[in-house]
Structure 1
Amino acid sequence: MKRLALPDISFNDMLLKCSEGMEQVNVRNNFISLFLTFYAKEQQYQALSLAGNLYAYPKVNPLTNTTPVVGHMTKRKLVNLYENNLRDKDKPARDYYDTLLVSSGERCPFCGDIGQTKNLDHFLPKAHFPEFSVMPLNLVPSCRDCNMGEKGQDYATLEDDQAIHPYVDKDLFYQEQWVFAEYLNEDDGALRYFVQCPVTWRVEDINRAKNHFKSLSLANRYRLEAGKHLSEVIDQKNAFKKMIFKFNPNATSAQIKDAFVEANLQPIIDSDQFDNHWKKVMYQCLANSLPFFER
């Protein structure tokens, strides 16, 4: 949903910092001897993800805790590299964990800024792809709803099922609008969010956007987020209307609408928030909704 800048921490930096936390010299040296293998896997990961084909990354199969995955390093050792080294508050690498966690401004990129980051999500789950357990490109700051709930330990085996990668993915997901909203003139008012991709998109990319939106329950989560804010906008609109009539009793409904949009809604619509941000989409919707201005 929201693009993040590539991590400032390189894979080389991360591996070196993890090696500093290894007390046994032979263990550390054996680990360092595998760095080139780690780098090659990172390059393959990045190339596939940029093309929207990360689903095609070859998974080690069968995979058990004792299966060698990177050289002599087994799945168990690679998972422990994250759990007992990178996450360990007493290890040097913990500083990198904390840096990555706040790198998105403490807002979750998967759901488009509505959740506060609480964990690092393994985009390719470490249970299935332990070779990327500490690779910064695979560690995405995430809220609990996205990391522990909707996204979880799933991974795509088909192109259409891939979640949108916040670091490396096709530009179209970030540079074009595909999330829209409709104002529902009922009770106190509400918004319905939905996906409408550009007609020029490939079917596979359209399905990816729809599946990302659906799997993270974004229609409902955005609706709830907008609901918290909508009453304030309605109050602003009503107060604005009274003020206009006070100074110009002959003002038409169209004039009031245009003035309110220009003064209150357009600044958010024109802001540097990403195109599919729930609030930007909300204001865009309200600016074009006659029922909203008629209530």
Structure 2
Amino acid sequence: MINLKPYKKKKSADFLKEIIDKKSTTKADPEYHSRLVLVKPQVLDQYVIFDQYFITNSLEKISAFGFKDKQLADLLKLYSYKNKFVQALKVDVTTTASNRKIGTCQNCTISEVNSMDHILPKIDYAEFSVHPSNLFPSCTICNSYKSTIWEKDGTRFFLNLYLDILPPQQYLFVKIIDGGNTPRAQFYLDNRNSIDKDIFRLINSHYDGLHLCERFSQNIDLVVTPLKNAIKSFIGDLSIDRIKSINLERIKKDLDSFGSNYWKSILEAALLNDKDFISSIQKHSLTE
């Protein structure tokens, strides 16, 4: 899990105007574009408010305008994941400074990006349905868990990975259960490294709301089988200590690239240090 850079190629108002300008009338609704033009000034006023609160990372203070009926439906129709402007935004914010493309949902780091999360839910804040800073690349699984529940009494439940800077300290840990040939893993969060209590509360709430620890545990074979194969390929040529050292060096580099609490790397390191897991690989290598 890493922070993504907010979209800055265009001003938010210009982004909205481009999308509205490309919305054409249809025989079924010939007045659609005209209605958008009429409501645009009100939406742009809301954009000014959003941009101000985005700077201070306090979007939870924004009150919804309360568009209803036809206006609500018209604003919701502005958003489409396949819209070329939305797709261009996705490419921009998921491209790192080193030009690496991030295709994995950073809300979970499990599934591929195949939707946009509306940080402020679009059904409640239709005016921000295509605000570029309200769109965060996500997977549909995270989106379904988050739904429209994002805050209560001004307290947010989920990380805004544009703005909530992730700490460098480790907070995700894993316990290896039955570390033999078919290990199981139990992930958990712990603030043993004295992370700021407010950001840790938000991290904990984010992981809980998206069921991340359970989802990590369900997907451990994405790590276990490749790691077994990597170790087996060196057995007979290198000592087990050297094999572990090589893999741990790679894990350090992966943590630098994918975040200091990347679940796959946390799991790999724990498995490499689990005597039963290593012994099981050595035992099976002798019989293959």
Question: TM-score, normalised to structure 1's length?
Answer: 0.76
Counterpart in the other structure of 2:221: 227
Q: Distance in 2 between matches of 1:58 and 1:34?
A: 15
Equivalent residues of 2:15, 2:131 under 8 A apart = yes
Match of residue 123, structure 2, among 124, 127, 143: 127
Match of residue 97, structure 1, among 86, 90, 105: 86
Partner SS for 1:153: coil
Question: How far off is 1:147 after superposition?
Answer: 0.9
Counterpart in the other structure of 1:279: 264
Question: How far off is 1:9 after superposition?
Answer: 4.4
Question: How far off is 1:165 after superposition?
Answer: 0.8
Residues 1:5 and 2:43 aligned together:
no
Equivalent residues of 2:169, 2:193 under 8 A apart = no
Equivalent residues of 2:172, 2:190 under 8 A apart = yes
Match of residue 197, structure 2, among 198, 203, 226: 203
Q: Distance in 1 between matches of 2:81 and 2:243?
A: 52
Equivalent residues of 2:81, 2:116 under 8 A apart = no
Counterpart residue type for residue 2 of structure 2:
K
Equivalent residues of 2:180, 2:276 under 8 A apart = no
Deviations 1:20-62 (CA, angstroms, capped at 9, x unpaired)? 126668645534534651332222331342xxx443x2434xx
Deviations 1:187-217 (CA, angstroms, capped at 9, x unpaired)? 5112222112354334333222112112111
Counterpart in the other structure of 2:250: 267
Partner SS for 1:261: helix
Gaps of 5+ in 2: 26-30, 95-101, 281-288
Counterpart in the other structure of 1:253: none
Question: How far off is 1:133 after superposition?
Answer: 1.4
Match of residue 109, structure 1, among 89, 106, 110: 106
Deviations 1:208-262 (CA, angstroms, capped at 9, x unpaired)? 2112112111112212322233033224324423333xxxxxxxxxxx3431122
Gaps of 5+ in 1: 61-68, 245-255
Counterpart in the other structure of 1:252: none
Q: Distance in 2 between matches of 1:96 and 1:146?
A: 22
Counterpart residue type for residue 136 of structure 1:
P
Question: TM-score, normalised to structure 2's length?
Answer: 0.77
Counterpart in the other structure of 2:283: none
Q: Distance in 2 between matches of 1:190 and 1:243?
A: 29
Cα distance, 1:22–1:38 mapped onto 2, change above 3 Å = farther
Q: Distance in 2 between matches of 1:36 and 1:160?
A: 26
Question: How far off is 1:273 after superposition?
Answer: 1.9
Counterpart in the other structure of 2:187: 193
Counterpart in the other structure of 2:28: none
Counterpart in the other structure of 1:43: 51
Question: How far off is 1:161 after superposition?
Answer: 4.6
Residues 1:137 and 2:136 aligned together:
no
Cα distance, 1:263–1:88 mapped onto 2, change above 3 Å = closer
Larger mean CA deviation between 6-15 and 74-83 belongs to 74-83
